[in-house]
Amino acid sequence: MSETEEVAETQGAEKYTLVDCITDPALDWVAPEPRGIASSLTSQDPRLYMTVEQQRADGLQNWSTRIPGEGERVCSSFDGHGFAMYEFVFKEMRLRLPFSPFAASVLKALQVAPSQLHPNSWSFIMGFEHLCTYKGVLPTLPLFFRIFKIQRKPTREVGRAPRQNWVSLKHHEDVKLFKMFVDSVKDFKERYFVVRPESASARESLMELEEDRDEQGDARKDANGQVIVRAVPKFPLSWSYTHFLKEPKEYTTGDADLSPEDMAAFESLKTFVAGFTPGVWTTRKGVTIRDEHGKPKASPRLINTRTLLKCKNAGEVKLCLDEMETIAERMLKAKQDEKASRSGRGKKKIVARASQEVRPGTPSVQVIGTSGVGSGPLPQLPGLLQRRGQEKKIPRLKMRAWEDAESFQFLEVRRQQHARDMAAMVRMVSSSLVLGDERETLVKQLDTAQTRHERAKGRINQLELVVDDLREKQKHWGDQLDEHRKRGEDLDAARAEIERLNAVMAPGENEHKAAEGLTTRADLVKVIAQLSHDFVEGTEYAFENAVQQIKCLNPDVELVTRGMHVNGQVKDGQIVIPAGLADSDEEEEDAEGVFEEGQEDEQGDGHEQEDSLGNCIST
């Protein structure tokens, strides 16, 4: 049978009633069957099987199961880190939660949910792990995807983009190790339920820690400067389109991509299966099927995945694969024996015992057996019948007597041979019973060793998590130390700058009092502006005072003061006002006029000025 069992099942999809109740637009890419087939499981179903984990001694459960609701489908999302899974995988393939680290890594690499993977593909994942453990090689993703590749069967409809169904695994053309678990998984599409983790250990098996990052991709930090981490699923728990962003060939591995260790493991697995004797094609009646050249048709013998997954522990897995290898060797030996037997048929010798007494009508006969038939005498024709020319001389009645004697002797010899075979069978059964007792002991020892091994693996995983946590803290502390060192350097530089500024701002020996207490440029600019203002006002006051004194000393002289300016200069007998000050002269007069109007309420001061002017004139 072909490994494209999904095609045959898809063609028979009309037997399912499709009720599409998915309203989430994010699932528009899902094909009609996954989004339309409701679970047919009910609590009254006598075939219902919902065991998903090994029974614990304390009776507690790490995982809970429930039948999906009316509007829930296999591609739906479920709260509490729940996910859909098929009854067939737990019931027939004996998958038990939690997922192994390798199975979780396959789901993560493919970016698919557990129910998004076809059930037959789960048998390949589990069988691959068993085979790697048996051969003592490490199961890695490059090695796995060198053996298996991706197969998809989208649903194509007129007027819209193809929609995706289940994802399957199949062998590469150049390597085949496993038989499919079944040619066609019957009714798996409608027999699914929801699994949810209940204990902390169950939830931890589905989650991993990653840094929380912002829109720019930078790690977020808390108030203490530590990187914020969050728990996220190791792989999608509901159907994801991320897987389909890559082409199937992007998930495969070539020989050039394998490490030397993976390449050696790949050759070891191929050699192991290649040693199996090819299976000869036969009809139901046991007749060998031959090709057009008359040669028996044969096909490579692969690992029986169904038998392998029935094993309950590592000990049974070893015995199972040992038996497969032994069966192959025995079949090869039987084939060689059959060849030897055919080549020796022409060498049979018929010998009569001359010393045997022969009674008339009941001759005694004996045959020397050929190789491969067994020890002991076998019947042959007597010496008289060896010569064909003498057969005609024997009377008819005597010929019948010879035939009866031959039959009797043949039955007697076969009876004796049968007795010897039965004795050998009894001895073999006795040996099997002894070996069976030893096997039970060995299986118990293997179970104990496997339990210890699993505990050690769990402890190793815990220690690895602790080591990763310590490395992360070490990195964080190193970053903090670098930042602290940098801040110390900045602080030292700031202190040096402060000392330099203090030295620059220290007062000089003959420094003006107006400069005392100045610490900033703004203060200096403010003082300079104030001093400039005071200087201008003092200069204008001195100029006006000088004009008044001249008028006071020369009362009889009509002095002309128009055209005089506080900043005027006498050049070539003329008063010259510097450029830029002539235009502002009128503005100052206007300002003086405004100022005089504002001083009307100060009449007392004006009278005093007139009195002083009068006194000057009188003087």
**Interval 204-263: pLDDT, tens:** 999 999 888 888 888 888 888 888 889 999 999 999 999 999 999 999 999 999 999 999
- Which one, of 74, 89, 11, lies nearest residue 38 by Cα? 74
Strand partners, 117: 167
For residue 170, pLDDT over 80 is answered with yes
499 in a domain, yes or no? Answer: no
Helix 119-135 to helix 260-274 angle, to the nearest 10 degrees?
100
**Statement to judge: residues 323 and 210 lie in one domain:** no
For residue 406, pLDDT over 80 is answered with no
The 8-class DSSP code of residue 277 comes to P
**Statement to judge: residues 408 and 552 lie in one domain:** no
**Statement to judge: residues 367 and 419 lie in one domain:** yes
Please tell me the least confidently modeled range out of 113-127, 307-321, 338-352, 576-590: 338-352
Q: What percentage of the chain has pLDDT greater than the value 70? A: 74
86 in a domain, yes or no? Answer: yes
Please tell me the least confidently modeled range out of 115-124, 423-432, 445-454: 423-432
Which range is most confident: 49-63, 168-182, 462-476?
A: 168-182
For residue 8, pLDDT over 50 is answered with no
Query: Sign of the C-alpha dihedral, residues 400, 401, 406, 407?
Result: positive
**Statement to judge: residues 228 and 156 lie in one domain:** yes
For residue 174, pLDDT over 70 is answered with yes
Higher pLDDT, 502 or 46: 46
**Statement to judge: residues 136 and 225 lie in one domain:** yes
**Statement to judge: residues 333 and 365 lie in one domain:** no
Residue where a domain stops, chosen among 275, 290, 325? 275
Max Cα-Cα span within the chain:
204
222 in a domain, yes or no? Answer: yes
pLDDT at 413: 67
pLDDT at 380: 42
**Statement to judge: residues 324 and 428 lie in one domain:** no
Beta strands in 154-221 (DSSP E): 167-171, 192-197, 207-211
The SS3 of residue 181 is coil
Q: CA 143 to CA 262: how far, in whole Å?
A: 6
Higher pLDDT, 128 or 418: 128
Higher pLDDT, 533 or 492: 492
pLDDT at 292: 86
**Statement to judge: residues 72 and 128 lie in one domain:** yes
Residue where a domain stops, chosen among 275, 301, 320? 275
**Statement to judge: residues 294 and 390 lie in one domain:** no
Q: CA 228 to CA 589: how far, in whole Å?
A: 73
pLDDT at 104: 96
What is the average per-residue pLDDT within 81-92?
A: 96
Tens digit of each residue's pLDDT (9 = 90 or more) over 35-68: 999 999 999 999 999 999 988 777 788 999 999 9
477 in a domain, yes or no? Answer: no
Tokens of residue 159, six digits:
């007027």
- How many domains, the chain? 4
**Statement to judge: residues 303 and 398 lie in one domain:** no
pLDDT at 207: 94
505 in a domain, yes or no? Answer: no
pLDDT at 341: 61
**Statement to judge: residues 137 and 164 lie in one domain:** yes
For residue 489, pLDDT over 80 is answered with yes
pLDDT at 521: 77
pLDDT at 349: 43
What is the average per-residue pLDDT within 409-429?
A: 71
507: Cβ contacts below 8 Å, ≥ 6 apart: 515, 516
Tokens of residue 373, six digits:
């038939």
**Statement to judge: residues 408 and 374 lie in one domain:** yes
Residue where a domain stops, chosen among 324, 343, 362? 343
For residue 278, pLDDT over 90 is answered with no
pLDDT at 437: 57
What is the average per-residue pLDDT within 149-153?
A: 95
For residue 461, pLDDT over 80 is answered with yes
What is the average per-residue pLDDT within 449-453?
A: 85
Residues 107/233, Cβ–Cβ less than 8 Å: no
What is the average per-residue pLDDT within 597-605?
A: 50
493 in a domain, yes or no? Answer: no
502 in a domain, yes or no? Answer: no
511 in a domain, yes or no? Answer: no
What is the average per-residue pLDDT within 375-404?
A: 43
Tokens of residue 61, six digits:
């459960």
pLDDT at 348: 45
Tokens of residue 322, six digits:
């040992």
Measured from the Cβ of residue 320, the count of other Cβ atoms closer than 10 Å reads 19
Q: CA 167 to CA 152: how far, in whole Å?
A: 5
Annotate 460-526 with three-state secondary structure. HHHHHHHHHHHHHHHHHHHHHHHHHHHHHHHHHHHHHHHHHHHHHCCCCCCCCHHHCCCCCHHHHHH
Higher pLDDT, 342 or 32: 32
- Which one, of 239, 186, 248, 182, lies nearest residue 34 by Cα? 239
Range of the domain at 393: 351-464
